[in-house]
Amino acid sequence: MRFAGKSALVTGAASGIGRAAAELLAREGASRLLLVDRDADRLGKLELDCAVQALSGDVADPELWHAADLGEIDHAVINAGVAGAGLIADLDFAEWRRILSVNLDGAFLSLQAALRAVRDGGSIVTVASAAGLKPEPGIAAYGASKAGLIQLTKIAAKEFAKRRVRVNAIAPGGVETPVWDAVPMFADRAREIGRDAAFAELAAMATPLGRYAAAEEIAEQIAFLLSDQAATITGSVLLSDGGYTL
């Protein structure tokens, strides 16, 4: 029981990586989870074996955080995020702002709330992306948001080291989660050949290991970074991308 009696904040907890992280923390003994997501329905359907405080709303809305009472927390997983694509020359400013608002403003407000509530010796993981490290055409807004989040994570690590609070980022490559269903190229292909085959095809294109991660695998790696096994690790980026950035 790696997290026995611990309390944690998880944002974007209703789906994908956030949901898998919340489930793992509960399985590993967490006694109180504060779960945040804008999808109130799916958030309400989560069944976890611990005390749950569900907060539905937009992580990029400062009012959400003003109204929230986090109490004292041991851990946080700053995970809520959205995807989007478009070449810089074609990108609408509104689309740029939509991505930056959730992935960077939202992550900043979540991280700030977590840092204000965290106990000395606690730990925090932000969910960045390999797209924040590897430049590719068409990912300007998403890639810039995740690059910004990586730097924000490192700065937080330095600001809070004196209180022995560790702050690390995980940078996944492809992960098989519902976020892909909103990507037209993937959704079209999934309709044609099935979801699993569409993921396999995507992975074969640019991931040397030839497969995407499962949300549960990323959750395990987040748990490692949160746990005492990673006691000497802070300000680092755990790249979990099947070799995509090589």
Ligand X SMILES: NC(=O)c1ccc[n+]([C@@H]2O[C@H](COP(=O)([O-])OP(=O)(O)OC[C@H]3O[C@@H](n4cnc5c(N)ncnc54)[C@H](O)[C@@H]3O)[C@@H](O)[C@H]2O)c1
> In degrees rounded to 5, what are phi and psi of residue 210?
80, 15
**Least distance (Å) between residue 215 CB and ligand X:** 6
Binding mask 209-238 for ligand X (x = CB under 6 A): ------x-----------------------
Our finding on whether 12 is near ligand X (CB under 6 A) is yes
Stretch that binds ligand X, among 16-24, 66-74, 86-94, 152-160 (CB under 6 A): 16-24
- 5 or 225: CB nearest ligand X: 225
Instruction: Please say if 244 is a catalytic residue.
Output: no
Place of tokens 């910004």: 148
Our finding on whether 14 is near ligand X (CB under 6 A) is yes
Alpha-helical runs (H) found in 161-235: 184-193, 195-206, 215-226
List the interface residues with ligand X, window 141-180 (CB under 6 A): 172, 174-175, 177-179
232 CB contacts (<8 Å, ≥6 apart)? none
**Least distance (Å) between residue 82 CB and ligand X:** 5
Candidate list 30, 32, 79, 242; residue touching ligand X; CB under 6 A: 79
> In degrees rounded to 5, what are phi and psi of residue 174?
-75, 135
Question: Residue 137 corresponds to which tokens in the numbers above?
Answer: 């055409």
Q: Do 12 and 103 contact (CB within 8 A), yes or no?
A: no
Candidate list 58, 95, 216, 220; residue touching ligand X; CB under 6 A: 58
Candidate list 25, 50, 59, 169; residue touching ligand X; CB under 6 A: 59
By rule CB under 6 A, what count of residues binds ligand X? 27
- 115 or 150: CB nearest ligand X: 150
Q: Is 209 helix (H, G, I), strand (E, B) or coil?
A: coil
Which residue among the candidates 65, 142, 160, 180 is catalytic per the annotation?
142
**Least distance (Å) between residue 209 CB and ligand X:** 14
Question: Residue 195 corresponds to which tokens in the numbers above?
Answer: 């979801």
Our finding on whether 38 is near ligand X (CB under 6 A) is yes
Our finding on whether 16 is near ligand X (CB under 6 A) is yes
Rounded to the nearest 10 degrees, the angle between the axes of helix 184-193 and helix 195-206 is 120
DSSP state, 5? T
Q: Do 149 and 124 contact (CB within 8 A), yes or no?
A: no
Candidate list 9, 26, 35, 37; residue touching ligand X; CB under 6 A: 37
- Residues 166, 73: Cα–Cα separation, whole Å: 13
> In degrees rounded to 5, what are phi and psi of residue 155?
-65, -40
- Residues 26, 31: Cα–Cα separation, whole Å: 7
The residue ranges that bind ligand X (CB under 6 A) are 12, 14-18, 37-39, 58-60, 79-82, 102, 106, 127, 129, 172, 174-175, 177-179, 215
| Residues acting as catalytic residues | 142
